[in-house]
Chain A
């Protein structure tokens, strides 16, 4: 029987190191599935040998080495049926068991390789998310399926297709060249933010928030910033931390929505706010201010005051002005209009939203109609407010938002 402390140690090492070991094994073996098998075998070997030999000084290097040798055995067995594998087995065996290959810099590089490969734009977006959660975060297929309200077989298929594409199209396991880095980093950030948003306000179903996915996204964001301290990576982490700081205040016990204005700010997590605000400063200080940093800055302005009525809406509108230059979109325009309404009065905001809708933008976006309804209500245009709430209700997808809109509609005076 394995000793209790050894078992605990191996568990801890699995939690802390298995992803990095996997990343290196993928590079050495050139295949995701083989690397996963090798990782599993390496830990099996650890459980068998460490009780007798003791925990090695460099567990990660030991595991990589063990994994590699187990993989060679697997390849040699398969080579009996496939000549092309003979050469691979030979090369793996004769490659020097170089300790530097598992030093910190190489491991960091391998980790980045893994992240960038899982988020390669040649993979379908939902495949990027599934693969990242599986390989980089170590979630099981069942956990991922549950989080995205899909069936495990569907999700497993998605991951298999992604790995097949990586193999058949020869997507290389590498950190993108500097010229390609901005676009490729964009892809990674998009995946992380998507995961965060699924955890924060899932696209369908009952719960207002799903804590585990948001936590994973923040962990990923922190990892990315450690490996690649680019301003937009920092900006995204700041944005997620600031959103997360309001988790306790964002919904009632029954899962009903509490608007920013009405939230009990004493429940906001001040440590997360401080960390997020500091990261915003860092991101904004760089010459390359991007959309995540700007959205984080807006969030930080809200977080700056314990009293909603003291919010600096002028600063927020100013930040939206910059955001409209850097990354214009109808949704940003809508959010800016809401901020303008707070700064200049509902009539001003309504003009902007009406212009947006008249252009044909956001006609199917429930929040556009909800925002319009709210401004009409504040202007006492109750018939228009009613129509807008009804339009929003026809489009809303999530239960808590539906209940909120119905409540607002019911509260309109007849």
Chain B
């Protein structure tokens, strides 16, 4: 079962985390086989938001919305169930000062299915 862990935090507070600490966690996660993908993001000031309304493309500077905590990075993980995903998310370093949203991946009809997908929720 795959989950996307979205790491949010106030950027000024996130500056306090060393790259070494984040890399160390990432390496551990990859070695454990739980990590499908992971990246850190450039600060929210480098973001650009694109919309299409009434046939017009609109491009604006900044994130899709001003929020108190900003998206700083993500981990796409493989976990047995939500409890394991929570355990893994709870060790992401910024969780101490920010928030990690854990969202299950939705397998779309027609895409190649993960063989374990239909057995969600079973003990």
Contacts and interface: CB of A to CB of B under 8 A. Distances in A.
B81 A172 contact: yes
A172 B1 CA distance: 12
Nearest to A175: B123
Nearest to B117: A84
Interface stretch (A141-149, A152-160, A162-170, A247-255): A162-170
Contact of B123 (A84, A122, A168, A174): A174
B121 A172 contact: yes
How many interface residues does chain B have, given as a range?
A: 10 to 19
A176 B123 contact: no
Contacts of B118: 84-85, 87-88
A30 B119 contact: yes
B123 A170 contact: no
B121 A180 contact: no
Interface string A19-41: 00000000100110000000000
B93 interface: no
Nearest to B122: A30
Nearest to B116: A170
B122 A169 contact: no
B123 A172 contact: yes
A30 B121 contact: yes
A88 B106 CA distance: 20
A173 B122 contact: yes
B104 interface: yes
Contacts of A113: 123
Contacts of B122: 30, 172-173
B13 interface: no
Contact of A180 (B83, B120, B123): B83
A253 B16 CA distance: 62
Interface string B91-121: 0000000000000101000000000001111
How many interface residues does chain A have, given as a range?
A: 20 to 34
A168 B106 CA distance: 8
B30 interface: no
Contacts of A124: none
A44 interface: no
Contacts of A176: 83
Interface string A228-272: 000000000000000000000000000000000000000000000
A166 B104 CA distance: 11
Nearest to A179: B87
A30 B119 CA distance: 8
A27 B121 CA distance: 10
Contact of A172 (B80, B104, B106): B80
B44 to A, nearest CB: 27
Contact of B104 (A27, A85, A170, A173): A170
B123 to A, nearest CB: 5
A176 B122 CA distance: 14
Contacts of B88: none
A31 B123 contact: no
A31 B120 CA distance: 10
A122 B81 CA distance: 12
B89 to A, nearest CB: 12
Nearest to A174: B123
12 contacts: A30-B119, A30-B122, A88-B118, A88-B119, A113-B123, A168-B106, A170-B82, A172-B80, A172-B121, A172-B122, A174-B123, A177-B83
Closest 5 CB pairs of A and B: A30-B122, A172-B81, A84-B118, A170-B120, A170-B81
